[in-house]
Amino acid sequence: MSLHSIPGSSGYLDAFPERRITYFSNGYVLGLTIVAGIGGLLFGYDTGVISGALLYIKDDFEEVKNSNFLQETIVSMAQVGAIIGAATGGWINDACGRKKATLFADVVFAAGSIVMAAAPDPYVLILGRLLVGLGVGVAS
């Protein structure tokens, strides 16, 4: 029996069914895949949620309401952090390993979230946005 005589998209896979790839047959691999995908989710969520949050930030900080520069800086600092994080993420992965690099990214993201939540002024909020961006950049 030749491989070409077996119907299907790939004669090799049809001839050797034990070689079929089973996706996510292992729960551990599925969990790792989900955790790895969270980096992209966090970046998209953080990028989208700031537009609605900026309305409340203007109410909390009078100087943000009066300064377009501060508003733009608050919004863009996460992207600046993501650029820096993505640029250094490969080096961190090589130096520390993927597991430690992912844990580092998670800790930095969480620290940035805490800093933003407790920010007494817009400049600390900008620092928190930078930390969140760094975490997202390393995770990507």
> What pLDDT, in 10s, does the model give residues 12-33?
555 555 655 666 677 888 887 8
Between CA 114 and CA 94 the distance in angstroms is 28
Identify the band that residue 124 occupies on the pLDDT scale cut at 50, 70 and 90.
very high
pLDDT in tens, 53-104: 898 999 999 999 999 999 999 999 999 999 999 999 999 999 999 889 989 9
* Calpha distance 21→77 (Å, rounded): 42
Predicted confidence band of residue 40 (pLDDT cuts 50, 70, 90): confident
Name the band, by pLDDT with cuts 50, 70 and 90, for residue 134: very high
Amino acid 48: pLDDT: 84
Cα distance from N-terminal residue to C-terminal residue, the chain: 47
Task: State both tokens at 54.
Answer: 């900026």
Burial of 127 (0-12, 13-18, 19+ CB in 10 A): middle
Cβ distance 130 to 83 under 8 Å? no
For the full predicted model, state whether its pTM sits above 0.85: no
**CATH level 3 topology of 36-139:** Growth Hormone; Chain: A; (1.20.1250)
Which of 82, 74, 84, 86 has the alpha carbon at shortest distance from 50? 74
